[in-house]
Structure 1
Amino acid sequence: MACLRCTCPRFRARYKRLVNNIYPADPSEGLIKNNMEKLLFYALSHHQKLDRIAKYMYQRLCRDLYRNRARYACITVAAMDRLLMACHAPSLNLFIGSFLKMIEKLLESQDVELQVLGTNSFVAFSNIEEDTASYHRKYDFFISKFSSMCWDTNNNEEIRNKKRLAGVRGLQGVVRKTVSDDLQVDIWDSAHMNKIIPSLLFIVQDHLSDSYLERADEQFSLPVGEDSSPGKLAEFCLRELLARTNYANVKAVLTPLLTHLDNCELWLPNAFAIQCFKLVLCSVQSQHSYVAIEVLLNHLNDISKHNPKIKTSLLEALGEAIAIAAGGAIGSSIFEVFNTLLFHLKSSVAVFSNQYRRKDIPVIFPFRHESVTVTLKSFPPEDEKKFQEAVTNVVGAFGATLPAYQKIEVMTFITCKIPTVSEISEGLKTSNLSSVFPRSLLEPLLRLSRSSDSGRKRQRLLWVLDTMTLTAFLTIFLSNTTGVRLKVQKVFHRLLDRHENLPRLTPSRILLPKSEWDLNVEKCSHQDLMFMKRAGVDLFNNIFESFQDRDNKPDNIFALYRTSALILIEVNSSDIIIEFIRIAMTLQVFIDVFCLGNNKLYNSLR
């Protein structure tokens, strides 16, 4: 009886007869539509037969592929697509199992057209919203296959673009099918992301002229059609994937992105890396943007021993990303961000030192209240200098996103991190670095003070200069290096000047009549007056001692004059004026005794 079923069509099962009837004698005629309608009606009327129909069609597909009858295989795929779109029964999961096996067979074929055909079927399947969950379905094969198609390097440009476009569309279908369903395979798993992200980035980079990457902050519609550029579609898929991320899986996307940039050496030059992070910050949800910044900082820690050029490129990308993230760039761990940047700055300063530049030895680096061991390696000093400038720029970029009160807190934090001369000498046993360390650490402080100008207006001196900040500044005032003293005076000027009088205090205006000074002077508040009475003694003594430094240069003298003038303007009180008259008279005695023999210094004081 079984033999009769195989040889005589009348004895075959009805669903097999209906399936066989959709195939014409000449495959060029295509699917027989009337018979296809009969098969659809039967499948919708007998849901329990869907599984058998799918298995039988899969068997026919395998037989046609084995016999190289590609046209009949195309008819089978078209019929399966029609069944898939028409049937929404609870037993559809069984049908999909055979359907996915059919897609696997097509993708394993060496024929590019069959691979594209299988991809199109999978994309159509990915757009279907299923009513019931599937716990056993796996997409590992599709992720691997579509990713490998993205890396195709066929010499024929048309075939290469066709396979890459199919690979991107397939990855997009996998993401759409799995990302919104917690019961499906975890698409955010590192094993999957390590294949998807590098594949998309490779296509975007290879088709950079066709993409929108240079306009990362702009919105654009999804490119459609077989002639669409793989670069545009890959970038759109990457944007879509990033837009679907949440707090838990932002790192899962960014980690393979950074790994790809490292492995392909795309940090030098860093134009592509910068555009990638612009795209990331423009695509992720704004409340999660600070996670991307944290991932970048952690990666900077991971490559801390690499070439400074690479670290500089990463910091440049970080600076561009901060500008897009704006207020959400730092998140809750504000001091951790600045502490990380300060650590890298101090490590670079140690490497930059002439004494240790050509030695690979560990150095105990003195922080205020802590020590860090840094292993120094030989790198060109100009590269280290550029890296230090990049750190300073990033500190300023971070500071620009902070509210005024947090800027003051961060400035206090940085100031207290600057080691004193005795601490540096004790930790490094060298006088050369005693000036390099504070001067380099004052650069980000100066940049941060400039970014806080607009938010500091009309604030109380007690808020701007609390006890800890003022004590740290006064300690650095007495540094034995003129450059350090000059920089800290400039930072102090920024903190004192709350009425924009600093630009008016120039050498050419000192000897002008009072009516031409055009200064903004307001009545001092009670809080500021009490603060100055409490902290003024130490401040005035410090200014007096700074004036007495014999290695002062004209710039140092003028900076001290500006400090004194700003104090008098901001704290407009008779008591403060009397104190400065006393200082001036005492300084006159000092000048008469010590400075008359120094013509250069004497002329600068005049």
Structure 2
Amino acid sequence: MPRRCQGCCGMCKPRWVRLVDNIYPKNYLNKQPNGPKLNSLTHYSCRNPEKLARIAEYLESRLQRDLYRRKTGHVFVSMDIIDNLIKSCQRLDNFICTYLAMVTSLLENKDPELQMTGTQSFEKFSEIDKETPNYLKEYATLLECFVKMCHDASPDEAVRCRVRCAGLQGIMSMMRKVASDDLQINIWEQVHMNQILWGILFNLEEGLQASEEAAAAAAPTAAAPSVGGDVALLAEAGDGGGCASGSGPRPFDKAKEALEDLVMRANYNNMNCIVDPVLTHLDHNPDLWAPNRFAVFVFHTIICRIPKPSQAYAVVDRVIQHLNTVKSTPVKKAVVQVVSSIVGYAASDAIGPAVYNVFKELCRQLMQSIWSRDESSDVESQYREEVINTMVRYSEASPDTQKVEIMKYILSFEAQHVRMLDQSSQSQPEVEERKRKMLLKSLLKTVSMVAENYRTTVISNAFPFDFLPPLLKISMNSDPGIRVVVQNILQHLIDRHSYREAFSRVRLLPLPDSSTGAPSPRHDKPSRQDMQFMRSAMGSELLTHLYTQLQEESNRVDNFEKLYTTLCLLALETAADEALVEFFRLGLQTQDFLVSDRCGLKIVHKSAAMAVVAALFTLLCGLQPCKGIDAHVAEVIEQRNSKAPHFLPKVAFNRNNTAKSYATESITPELLFSTDQIESELKAAGFDTSTLRQPYESLMDLRAKLGDEINASNRGGFVGFGRQQPKRRESTFHHCKISATSCKLSGAPGAIVGKAPGLWRLRLATRASGAGRVGSAGPTAYRIWICLSARLGRLCTSRQLSA
């Protein structure tokens, strides 16, 4: 029946129109529908679902008319009717578009009550999962209305609070409805996520700012919170939040809940869709970066609500990559502080390249800061400290196996990147050398802090073959400060029983008494693996470098003390049985060098080295059963105490020494430990002393060897730690032709192997050796010739050559 005839009389209207009209009260201010009539309409709609589309269209027309005529009561009745139909009927796809148009009309109205009614209706609709997908749903307009409500600026604080909460609730309802439906609006598109996060962050910022103003007014003399401070304090930042006390939920709480819900619905591929708008919002408001309480709170909320911990790496990686787009150093510092506050959540589950990508970018930022024009400014120094602390925080949350890999990568970074940077740099060599040392100190400081958190179980695991050699090469640096940091790294990785503090200063330990003895300074006997490490090439190389570092002319008091501590820790953790002989060898060889003509050290350095050897021997006396060695060490110490006290730690490491403190430079035999006597005592105790008199590699030889390796790596390109990549020889058409011809003419496997190049030579050698074992050189050579001929034919075909 035509619509124009429906208003003539009641009998001319269709039944579904009469059922709808009977629900409305006569008084248009009354918001309550007629209950029995509403049930009748619901029953009719369930039995005649084909009428639902017409009923919805009629309800929308009445809604628009009542809105125009300001019949607010009938507007509420229309929404009650449509809500009841949605709740009761099964086939909703017939009138969903009409329903969304009705909700949009309410949200676009200026009446706050109508806006909240539309939001509540859509929230009920979002909880229903029984409607079929519909390509015609207009959610984009609805989303714009919810975001607009999040920015409500009503003068009444209570009204403003309620409208903003309704807008945030509408955003959560929309996420619940469409986040997992690919046939509807793609809520993860940038244009939609920008709108959603704009509304959420706006309310979070308002709540945080209101709480800070209230706290400042209540306690104006209170100390300011630390940068990136207590997150638990930030969680309470919404007090007030732009809402009058006791007037219902706060926009800050709703915004935080909406952000958490959004993160929990995202997967790994969608995580950047959340992080990018947040970073953009912070960049458009630089005051939110410094101080960065707001940024820390937002990213802490994001990282804590990620459904899978393995996805947290995507957030950390994206924030770190954002450093490349930031020009201001204070903002960079704030970004790194944000990373430092959240990196612990991502480190425990990050594996493989994920770990290296984080450290690669942080090390690169450290290098760029050092190579900047104002690298000596306080801001740049603070920024570098934040970068180092962030790497340490990441390593703290990583397992021990990853800590070793992290230290290896940081050590290799300087060699891999600084050379390329030097080739493109136009600065003076002196400036480049100073910056390189600054970078190396920063990287070593990071490695030292990572090593401090490493728990060593087996020393060989803490010093893999590709970590200890480059670390020892760095220990040959001419800068004494760098050598001190390297010794700190070694001590952190060696010390398993907290010996380090007890042996931090060079001192003479009490010698075992002949009758009662003395308690051993060691907690337990070293393990078999640790003793094998000292007998291996790695342990020998470590002791060789410690021996040569005692001969450095640039050593300071700190260097000698660190070397003594490292030697004591090594002896306590690894020296047992034959390994003890190596430590006696180091002390005796050091003593021989100090009294030889090759020694050009000053009396100050010579006295410190002699004192280190004496202190080391007093420790070794408590680790071995030879009483004759104990008596000999006690006798030498007594002679030094009376004739040359500057060869003992008490005088040698007195920082107030003068020239008069060193009585004489002459060294008489009674002041030295006897190699013959110590060797005889060790032999009597059953020790193998065949290596006791073997000399170590000298300091000059080590430096020359290190220089040759660096020059070779510079010529051939850096691969790993100073290794030169071999040139690979490929098998070509010419090579295969020569090999096949030689094979056919000679028939001997040896002739074939001699002519074959590269990989072919290895294969032919294997086959030839097999032929020699079975005594069938002729047939084997023939089969090899057949293989080479086939290879030659394939090369001819690929190069389009004729036979």
C-alpha distance in 1, partners of 2:550/2:589? Answer: 10
Query: For 1:525, which of 525, 528, 552 is the aligned residue?
Result: 528
Offset at residue 227 of structure 1 (A): 2.0
Could you list the per-position Cα deviations for residues 123-178 of structure 1 after superposition, in whole angstroms to 9, with x for gaps in the alignment?
Answer: 11111122422233231011111012111223321221122011011111101111
Structure 1 residues 245 and 408: CA distance shift in structure 2, 3 A: same
Gaps of 5+ in 2: 213-229, 237-245, 513-517, 609-645, 655-803
Structure 1 residues 387 and 47: CA distance shift in structure 2, 3 A: same
Structure 1 residues 394 and 277: CA distance shift in structure 2, 3 A: same
C-alpha distance in 1, partners of 2:143/2:16? Answer: 33
Structure 1 residues 527 and 273: CA distance shift in structure 2, 3 A: same
> Partner residue of 2:574?
571
> Partner residue of 1:8?
9
SS at match of 2:269: coil
> Partner residue of 1:196?
196
The residue type equivalent to 2:279 in the other structure is L
C-alpha distance in 2, partners of 1:347/1:108? Answer: 51
Structure 1 residues 513 and 270: CA distance shift in structure 2, 3 A: farther
Task: Note the 1:421-436 alignment, pairs <5 A.
Answer: 429-430=429-430, 431-436=433-438
The residue type equivalent to 1:282 in the other structure is C
Structure 1 residues 530 and 165: CA distance shift in structure 2, 3 A: closer
> Partner residue of 2:183?
183
> Partner residue of 2:232?
214
> Partner residue of 1:236?
257
> Partner residue of 1:596?
603
Is the aligned partner of 1:384 residue 2:380? yes
C-alpha distance in 1, partners of 2:202/2:305? Answer: 19
C-alpha distance in 2, partners of 1:274/1:39? Answer: 54
Structure 1 residues 133 and 331: CA distance shift in structure 2, 3 A: farther
Greater displacement, 134-143 / 419-428: 419-428
C-alpha distance in 2, partners of 1:600/1:309? Answer: 49
Query: For 1:586, which of 592, 608, 626 is the aligned residue?
Result: 592
Structure 1 residues 582 and 558: CA distance shift in structure 2, 3 A: same
> Partner residue of 1:267?
289
> Partner residue of 1:362?
none
Could you list the per-position Cα deviations for residues 243-293 of structure 1 after superposition, in whole angstroms to 9, with x for gaps in the alignment?
Answer: 222222122222212222222221111112112222112211223222222
Structure 1 residues 597 and 113: CA distance shift in structure 2, 3 A: closer
Query: For 1:484, which of 471, 475, 482 is the aligned residue?
Result: 482
Q: Is the 8 A contact 2:112 2:159 kept in 1?
A: yes
Offset at residue 71 of structure 1 (A): 2.4
Offset at residue 201 of structure 1 (A): 1.9
Offset at residue 93 of structure 1 (A): 1.2
Query: For 2:492, which of 484, 489, 494 is the aligned residue?
Result: 494
Structure 1 residues 28 and 516: CA distance shift in structure 2, 3 A: same
Q: Is the 8 A contact 2:530 2:573 kept in 1?
A: no
Q: Cα RMSD over matched residues?
A: 3.1
Task: Note the 1:117-516 alignment, pairs <5 A.
Answer: 117-208=117-208, 214=232, 227-265=248-286, 266-285=288-307, 286-303=309-326, 306-325=327-346, 327-329=348-350, 332-351=353-372, 356-357=373-374, 381-419=377-415, 429-430=429-430, 431-452=433-454, 454=455, 456-457=456-457, 459-461=458-460, 463-507=461-505, 509-513=507-511, 515=518
Structure 1 residues 331 and 421: CA distance shift in structure 2, 3 A: closer
Greater displacement, 463-472 / 387-396: 463-472
Could you list the per-position Cα deviations for residues 556-587 of structure 1 after superposition, in whole angstroms to 9, with x for gaps in the alignment?
Answer: 11112222223333331133124213332134
Greater displacement, 501-510 / 61-70: 501-510
C-alpha distance in 2, partners of 1:64/1:190? Answer: 37
SS at match of 2:136: coil
Q: Is the 8 A contact 2:491 2:500 kept in 1?
A: yes
> What is the percentage of aligned positions where both structures have the same residue?
27
C-alpha distance in 2, partners of 1:437/1:472? Answer: 16
> Partner residue of 2:551?
548
Could you list the per-position Cα deviations for residues 10-60 of structure 1 after superposition, in whole angstroms to 9, with x for gaps in the alignment?
Answer: 212222222222222212333222322222222222111111111011111
Q: Is the 8 A contact 2:594 2:606 kept in 1?
A: no
C-alpha distance in 2, partners of 1:258/1:420? Answer: 31
C-alpha distance in 2, partners of 1:425/1:186? Answer: 48
C-alpha distance in 2, partners of 1:505/1:202? Answer: 57
Structure 1 residues 163 and 599: CA distance shift in structure 2, 3 A: same
SS at match of 2:289: coil
C-alpha distance in 1, partners of 2:306/2:196? Answer: 17
Offset at residue 593 of structure 1 (A): 5.4
SS at match of 1:333: helix
The residue type equivalent to 2:283 in the other structure is D
Q: Is the 8 A contact 1:501 1:520 kept in 2?
A: no
C-alpha distance in 2, partners of 1:13/1:103? Answer: 26
Structure 1 residues 599 and 527: CA distance shift in structure 2, 3 A: closer
Q: Is the 8 A contact 2:17 2:55 kept in 1?
A: yes
Structure 1 residues 35 and 380: CA distance shift in structure 2, 3 A: farther
Offset at residue 442 of structure 1 (A): 0.9
C-alpha distance in 2, partners of 1:295/1:381? Answer: 28
C-alpha distance in 2, partners of 1:545/1:580? Answer: 10
Query: For 1:78, which of 68, 77, 80 is the aligned residue?
Result: 80
The residue type equivalent to 2:121 in the other structure is S
Structure 1 residues 536 and 86: CA distance shift in structure 2, 3 A: closer
Q: Which has the larger radius of gyration?
A: 2
Structure 1 residues 187 and 510: CA distance shift in structure 2, 3 A: farther
Gaps of 5+ in 1: 219-224, 358-378
Structure 1 residues 509 and 251: CA distance shift in structure 2, 3 A: same
Structure 1 length-normalised TM: 0.86
C-alpha distance in 2, partners of 1:605/1:34? Answer: 101
SS at match of 2:169: helix
Greater displacement, 204-213 / 5-14: 204-213
> Partner residue of 2:782?
none
Structure 1 residues 517 and 202: CA distance shift in structure 2, 3 A: farther
Offset at residue 5 of structure 1 (A): 4.1
Could you list the per-position Cα deviations for residues 336-386 of structure 1 after superposition, in whole angstroms to 9, with x for gaps in the alignment?
Answer: 2211111111111222xxxx32xxxxxxxxxxxxxxxxxxxxx87111111
Q: Which has the higher contact order (CA 8 A, sep 6+)?
A: 1
C-alpha distance in 1, partners of 2:504/2:511? Answer: 14
Q: Is the 8 A contact 2:97 2:136 kept in 1?
A: no
Greater displacement, 206-215 / 74-83: 206-215
Question: How many residues are paired up?
Answer: 567
C-alpha distance in 2, partners of 1:496/1:5? Answer: 94
C-alpha distance in 2, partners of 1:498/1:302? Answer: 43
> Partner residue of 1:364?
none
Structure 1 residues 537 and 600: CA distance shift in structure 2, 3 A: closer
C-alpha distance in 1, partners of 2:542/2:376? Answer: 41
C-alpha distance in 1, partners of 2:231/2:177? Answer: 26
C-alpha distance in 2, partners of 1:528/1:334? Answer: 32
Query: For 1:43, which of 45, 48, 51 is the aligned residue?
Result: 45
Q: Is the 8 A contact 2:289 2:335 kept in 1?
A: yes
